Chains A and B, each alone.
Chain A
Amino acid sequence: MTPTILIFVRRVGISCIVLLGVSMLIFAIARVIPGDPARIALGPSATAEQVAKLRAELRLDEPITTQYGHFLSELAQGDLGISLYTNRPVVVDIAQFLPATLELIFVAGAMMIVIGLPLGIASARWRGTWIDNAIRMIALLGVSAPSFVWAVILMLLFAYFLPLFPIAGRISDTFAIEQVTGFLFLDTLIAGNLAAFGNAAWHVILPAFALALSGIGQTARLTRANMVETYDKPYVEMARSYGVPDRRIANRYAFKPSLIPSLTIIGLDFAAMLGNAFLVEAVFAWPGLSRYGVSVILRKDLDAIVGTVLIISATFLIMNLIVDVLVTIINPRIRYSRTAS
């Protein structure tokens, strides 16, 4: 096997162990609930027999280790239980809401890369000048507020005062798009409806930007910090004394070694967005996993809580895995040092 594949296999293995740990942790957390989930689900008018019956169905009277065993064997069959809130399988619920959230995150992630990296490069190239100071200030402001604050501010400015963008939702009601994948960008293209595609894109800009702002700030800050360090290296000085143009030094000599740490932080930020998406979705009434997640948490809907957190964590781990593999491919030093050890 090539070294990259070996590392990949190792990482997948570790990720699986970690995911198993996550399932134990979240299962334990969900089981220490003070109230009786069966009673909450059935309401105060239910009889004691009804509650006892539901408790038996949910296996709430068995020891927690047995419950966890059942949970694992069902999980292996792709079954996450039934949500007491929607009365549907948790898997179906998540499959319905997850694409909207992922779509938001992918657009925000793209903004983070397309805006954050160039800002960081510009800041390092013109370090010490007003350009640098302005970018550093913007980047610091970006990381200094939770995404719901940016969501509210952006909404007030660009949806109410300057009505450039829609206030809420994923797409205007006038478009009826058949759900195939759940990803509106794909579904509108499958339907061949370009106007609907544009409308969906127009809806996603503001929430995605609110979500991306802290990531943009972090990416810019980190890229700048790393590039400034690289600028002090002798080979950059040598390139400069050879008369290599500034632009080329910035983009090739200083930026390339900084790409690896930047990529790692972009991966982490991507993952953090899975949590922050909850906040932005709440502001923009985005029909994603957030409303479902918050309502199942408030209703102490055990299976749904465990399922949602597990899926989010799995997505998080997969994203980190992809970043890890990318970093290994880009950086030959990691590739060889890891296989040597």
Chain B
Amino acid sequence: MRRAFAILASNPLSLLGLILIGIILICAIFADFIAPFPEHRGAVVDFANFNQAPKWPHLMGTDLVGRDLFSRVIYAYRISLILGVVVLGIAVPVGVTVGLIAGYFGRYTEFALMRVTDVFLSIPPLVLAMSIMGVLEPTLINGMLAVTAMWWPWYARLVYNMTRGEKEEGYVLAAELIGASRLHVMFREVLPNCFPSIVTKMTLDLGFIILIASSLSFLGLGVQPPTPDLGSMVADGAKYLPDSWWLTIFPSLAILIAVFGFNLIGDALRELFGADQ
């Protein structure tokens, strides 16, 4: 772990990624202390300062009801990250278990499980999440549900492919010969060998979940106002282009920077582990 960190820090690109993500994490965790106007994350109205271009003390300007954009971006980061962690927290165990079972048992189990996975994968990701969100009420919890529903199949497929390869390896045959249970072989023998790929994918996915969640709220199918969200901030601001450009550009850049940071780290991890995807 420490060695991995040292290698990441020695490469300028992944170091940049670590710095970007570090700053975003600190902002999200300590939002209450860092945001200049913490109360602006909610439904606050300050018509004295509405729709102002960036200038001190409003680093990114203010929105149409006078809220500080910088504060709202910081709180939006917090919500996006919570969403990402929760989605991965559910999607990864589910997907990994399905993939392990399908890959290890083979035959009919494999056919049934992988066809179900195919069904989920053959609806374009955003469209699946959209239809789930459309049916449920658009809240943060339902947003997590919708994104989770589209995310687990990717882990199922990744682990399934790896398990099929590992199953033939000597150490698995040895464990089976000395009478280890199937559960033991799957979770204690095969799974640890899939960890590097899973961790790499999770890092990349944190960025992509932010991307997808913001896409949903951009369409009005995600987190609802007054909760700050990067996607809905862009959608609201886009109506006032080009005059109030800051309303769109800063939330857009905020998405770009976060996803870019996670991608830089994920790329470096991929090279480090030599994981092939």
Interface membership of B218, Cβ < 8 A: yes
Residue of B with least CB distance to A28? B135
Q: Is the CB of B123 within 8 A of A26?
A: yes
A320 / chain B contacts, CB cutoff of 8 Å? 122
Q: Is the CB of B211 within 8 A of A18?
A: no
Interface membership of A134, Cβ < 8 A: no
A58 / chain B contacts, CB cutoff of 8 Å? none
Q: Is the CB of B241 within 8 A of A22?
A: no
A305 / chain B contacts, CB cutoff of 8 Å? 131, 134-135
Whole-angstrom CA separation of A30 from B241 in the bound complex:
36
Interface membership of A313, Cβ < 8 A: yes
Chain A 62-104 interface mask (CB, 8 Å, partner B; 1/0):
0000000000000000000000000000000000000000000
Q: Is the CB of A309 within 8 A of B219?
A: no
Interface SS of chain B: helix, strand, loop or mixed? Answer: helix
Q: Assuming the A-B contacts A144-B260, A145-B259, A149-B234, are A297 and B131 also in contact, with contact meaning beta carbons closer than 8 angstroms in the complex?
A: yes
Which listed residue (B137, B231, B238) contacts A283, Cβ 8 A? B238
- Per the 8 Å Cβ criterion, residues 1-51 of A in contact with B are 14, 17-19, 21-22, 25-26, 29-30, 32-34
Chain B 213-257 interface mask (CB, 8 Å, partner A; 1/0):
011001111000000000100110010011001001100100110
Stretch in contact with the other chain, from B56-64, B112-120, B160-168, B186-194: B112-120
Q: Is the CB of A294 within 8 A of B238?
A: no
Residue of A with least CB distance to B267? A140
Residue of A with least CB distance to B256? A145
Q: Is the CB of B127 within 8 A of A274?
A: yes
Residue of A with least CB distance to B211? A146
Q: Assuming the A-B contacts A145-B255, A275-B126, A317-B122, are A152 and B131 also in contact, with contact meaning beta carbons closer than 8 angstroms in the complex?
A: no
Q: Is the CB of A274 within 8 A of B122?
A: no
B contacts with A, residue count (CB < 8 A)? 46
Q: Assuming the A-B contacts A274-B127, A278-B130, A279-B215, are A316 and B238 also in contact, with contact meaning beta carbons closer than 8 angstroms in the complex?
A: no
Which listed residue (B116, B130, B234) contacts A21, Cβ 8 A? B116
Chain A 123-146 interface mask (CB, 8 Å, partner B; 1/0):
000000000000000001101111
Which listed residue (A148, A294, A313) contacts B122, Cβ 8 A? A313
Interface membership of B124, Cβ < 8 A: yes
Whole-angstrom CA separation of A143 from B260 in the bound complex:
8
B126 / chain A contacts, CB cutoff of 8 Å? 272, 275-276, 278-279
A297 / chain B contacts, CB cutoff of 8 Å? 130-131, 133-134, 221
Q: Is the CB of A313 within 8 A of B135?
A: no
Whole-angstrom CA separation of A21 from B263 in the bound complex:
33
Whole-angstrom CA separation of A156 from B136 in the bound complex:
34
Q: Assuming the A-B contacts A18-B122, A146-B211, are A26 and B221 also in contact, with contact meaning beta carbons closer than 8 angstroms in the complex?
A: no
A contacts with B, residue count (CB < 8 A)? 48
Whole-angstrom CA separation of A77 from B231 in the bound complex:
40
Total of A-B residue pairs, C-beta within 8 Å: 142
Q: Is the CB of B124 within 8 A of A152?
A: no
Whole-angstrom CA separation of A26 from B125 in the bound complex:
13
Interface membership of A250, Cβ < 8 A: no
A14 / chain B contacts, CB cutoff of 8 Å? 118
Residue of B with least CB distance to A315? B124
Whole-angstrom CA separation of A317 from B207 in the bound complex:
27
Interface membership of A220, Cβ < 8 A: no
Interface membership of A242, Cβ < 8 A: no
Interface membership of B35, Cβ < 8 A: no
* Nearest CB on B from A230, distance (A): 14
A22 / chain B contacts, CB cutoff of 8 Å? 119, 122-123
Interface membership of A327, Cβ < 8 A: no
Residue of B with least CB distance to A313? B123
Which listed residue (A146, A155, A160, A309) contacts B131, Cβ 8 A? A309
* Nearest CB on A from B192, distance (A): 26
Residue of A with least CB distance to B261? A144
Interface membership of A153, Cβ < 8 A: yes
Residue of B with least CB distance to A153? B252
* Nearest CB on B from A281, distance (A): 10
Whole-angstrom CA separation of A33 from B137 in the bound complex:
9
Q: Assuming the A-B contacts A18-B119, A294-B219, A316-B122, are A152 and B134 also in contact, with contact meaning beta carbons closer than 8 angstroms in the complex?
A: no
Which listed residue (B207, B221, B241, B264) contacts A156, Cβ 8 A? B241
Q: Name 22 A/B residue pairs within 8 A (Cβ), A-sorted.
A: A17-B115, A21-B119, A22-B122, A29-B135, A33-B135, A140-B260, A144-B207, A145-B256, A145-B259, A146-B255, A148-B218, A149-B234, A149-B252, A152-B248, A153-B249, A161-B242, A274-B127, A279-B218, A282-B219, A294-B219, A297-B134, A312-B123
Q: Which 8 A-B pairs have the closest CB atoms?
A: A297-B134, A275-B126, A275-B124, A21-B119, A160-B242, A144-B260, A144-B259, A145-B256
**16 additional A-B residue pairs with CB within 8 Å, beyond A29-B132, A276-B126:** A17-B115, A25-B119, A30-B135, A34-B135, A144-B263, A145-B211, A145-B252, A145-B256, A146-B231, A148-B235, A156-B241, A279-B126, A279-B215, A282-B235, A312-B124, A320-B122
Interface residues of B (CB under 8 A from A): 115-116, 118-120, 122-128, 130-137, 207, 211-212, 214-215, 218-221, 231, 234-235, 238, 241-242, 245, 248-249, 252, 255-256, 259-260, 263-264, 267
